[in-house]
Amino acid sequence: MPNAAAALVEPPEDLLQRARSGEGHAFAALVGEYQRMVFSLANHFVHDRAIAEELAQEVFLELYRNLSHLSSIPHLVFWLRRVTSHRCIDQQRRLGRRPEVGMRDLPEPAVLPDPRDPMREERLRRLIRELPPAARMVVVLRYQEDLEPAEISAILGMRANTVKSHLRRSLAVLRSRIAEEETRP
């Protein structure tokens, strides 16, 4: 989602053109435009604002060094999503495996109880954090960026059927875990 203040500055294609020619102000405006998207992808993946900021800064540093290879705004957005996703997954692998929710043998409840629970969003974010890295990034790209499986497949370098399978199983896990927590005394 573009930053409101930056979006007012000028068309992003012009910003990219000027940033590529070395204008620091234009690059600053580009970062302003896409900081929300990059930071949120990282934050939803790691569930830690300090680590998310660190990751997002690394992505923008890499962007600065690769500006000359980016020909248009759609290319830039695709590149930012791809680099952010891969950096998040790599960072997770560097930190080592954490307890994750099993993806098999989970019953799927028929309905979700009490959908307006104000604590549900935070619980969902915490449960997403427990999904395995690749599945977690698929879920974040699907629901934060509203991307289709084919687009996620291109970003993550994963077959579209694998993306669909991650989505299906992750949703089943999340439904089960929510139901499980809500029936706990």
Partner 1 sequence: MTIDDQLRRALASKDPPAGFLGRTLNRIASAEAGQRPPSSGSLASRRALLLAVAASLVLAVGGSRYLLHRQTVREAERARDEVAAALQVVSRTLADVQIKVEAAVERAGANHERHSR
CB of 117 to partner 1, least distance (A): 9
Cα 89 to Cα 83: distance, rounded to the nearest angstrom: 10
User: Which CB sits closer to partner 1, 105 or 146?
Assistant: 146
Residues 6+ apart with CB under 8 A from 110: none
Residues 6+ apart with CB under 8 A from 14: 26
Is 143 one of the binding residues for partner 1 (CB under 8 A)?
A: yes
First to last CA, the chain: 39
Cα 123 to Cα 112: distance, rounded to the nearest angstrom: 14
Cα 68 to Cα 85: distance, rounded to the nearest angstrom: 21
Is 139 one of the binding residues for partner 1 (CB under 8 A)?
A: yes
Report the site for partner 1 in 58-77 (rule: CB under 8 A): 60-61, 64
- Per-residue mark of binding to partner 1, 79-118 (x: CB under 8 A): ---------------------------------x--xx--
Residues 6+ apart with CB under 8 A from 90: none
User: Which CB sits closer to partner 1, 172 or 185?
Assistant: 172
- Per-residue mark of binding to partner 1, 2-21 (x: CB under 8 A): -x-xx-xxx-----------
CB of 57 to partner 1, least distance (A): 5
User: Which CB sits closer to partner 1, 31 or 153?
Assistant: 31
